Amino acid sequence: MHLQGILCLQLIVASWATSIDVIHDYMLFKKITRVVGFSCGGYENDQQIIRAYNDAGILVSTETLGPNIDIQRSLRTDYWNLGVFVDLRCPVVDKDIVNIFDEASRYYMFGHLHQWLILGRNMEHTVRLLNDSTFSITTDFVISLPRDDGYILYDIYNHCKHCGGSLSITNFGTWDRETGLNVTLLESKFSRRRDFQRIKVKCAGVIVKRPVDQDLIEYLNERNAVLEDNWAKFGYSLLVNVAYMYNFSLETIELNHWPPNDENGPLMSGLRDQLFDLGYYPSLLTHERLDWCDVTLQVWPARTCFMFRTLPSQEVDMNIIFRPLEKKVWYMFCVLLLVMVLVLRIIFKSEKQSHYDETVFVIIGAMCQQGTRSHPSYFAVELVIRQIIIRRTTGLPFEKNKLSSRVAFLQTFIFGILLYNCYSAAIVSSRLNSGQTNKMNDSLASLIRSGMKLGAYKNIFFNILLSSKTADVEYFREYWDTIPEEAKFQPLMEGIRGIMNSGFAYHADPVIVYPVIERMFTNDMISQLTEVHLLQRSALGLWSAPHGHFQEIVKIGLIRTYTAGIRSRELLRWSSRKPYYNKIKQEASSVTIIETMPILLLLIFGMVVSLVICILEHIVFRTTLVYANRKK
Distance CA 518, CA 528 (A): 13
What three-state secondary structure class fits 86? Answer: strand
| Contact in structure between 164 and 140 (CB atoms under 8 Å) | no
Tell me the pLDDT tens digit for each residue of 328-355: 888 888 888 788 778 777 776 776 555 5
H/E segment holding residue 508: strand 504-508
Tell me the pLDDT tens digit for each residue of 186-220: 998 999 999 999 999 999 999 988 998 999 999 99
Distance CA 469, CA 129 (A): 50
> For residue 438, what pLDDT band results from cuts at 50, 70 and 90?
low
pLDDT of amino acid 598 = 79
pLDDT of amino acid 363 = 67
pLDDT of amino acid 155 = 96
Distance CA 557, CA 561 (A): 6
What three-state secondary structure class fits 256? Answer: coil
Contacts of residues 124-127 at CB distance under 8 Å and 24 or more positions apart, as own/partner, are 125/88, 126/88, 127/156, 127/167, 127/169
516 has a pLDDT exceeding 60:
yes
- Tell me what the pLDDT averaged over the chain comes to: 83
Give ∠ CA 328-334-336 in degrees, rounded to 5: 100
Give ∠ CA 242-272-69 in degrees, rounded to 5: 105
Residue 369: C-alpha distances to residues 340, 492, 509, 555 (Å): 16, 57, 55, 71
33 has a pLDDT exceeding 50:
yes
pLDDT of amino acid 586 = 56
pLDDT of amino acid 7 = 34
Distance CA 158, CA 154 (A): 13
Q: Report the 10 Å Cβ neighbour count for 293.
A: 25
577 has a pLDDT exceeding 50:
yes
Distance CA 468, CA 473 (A): 6
Mean pLDDT value of segment 447-466: 89
Residue predicted with more confidence, 468 or 414: 468
Tell me the pLDDT tens digit for each residue of 74-104: 999 888 889 999 999 888 888 999 999 999 9
183 has a pLDDT exceeding 60:
yes
pLDDT of amino acid 571 = 94
- DSSP H helical segments within 501-592, as ranges? 510-520, 523-527, 551-564, 566-574, 583-587
pLDDT of amino acid 391 = 42
Contacts of 571 (CB under 8 A, 6+ apart): 234, 300, 301
pLDDT of amino acid 389 = 42
pLDDT of amino acid 364 = 65
Bridge partners of 508? Answer: 305
> For residue 540, what pLDDT band results from cuts at 50, 70 and 90?
very high
pLDDT of amino acid 366 = 64
Tell me the pLDDT tens digit for each residue of 96-142: 999 999 999 999 999 989 999 999 989 999 999 999 999 999 999 99
Identify which of 9-18, 410-419, 458-467, 469-478 has the greatest average pLDDT: 469-478
Distance CA 117, CA 119 (A): 7
Q: Report the 10 Å Cβ neighbour count for 391.
A: 12
> For residue 12, what pLDDT band results from cuts at 50, 70 and 90?
very low
Bridge partners of 59? Answer: 34
Bridge partners of 309? Answer: 529
4 has a pLDDT exceeding 50:
no
597 has a pLDDT exceeding 90:
no
Distance CA 75, CA 319 (A): 74
> For residue 503, what pLDDT band results from cuts at 50, 70 and 90?
confident
What three-state secondary structure class fits 531? Answer: strand
| Contact in structure between 254 and 232 (CB atoms under 8 Å) | no
Contacts of 536 (CB under 8 A, 6+ apart): 303
Tell me the pLDDT tens digit for each residue of 365-405: 666 654 444 444 444 444 444 444 444 444 454 455 566 76
Mean pLDDT value of segment 5-27: 60
pLDDT of amino acid 352 = 59
Distance CA 582, CA 577 (A): 15
* pLDDT above 90 as % of the chain: 44
> For residue 5, what pLDDT band results from cuts at 50, 70 and 90?
very low
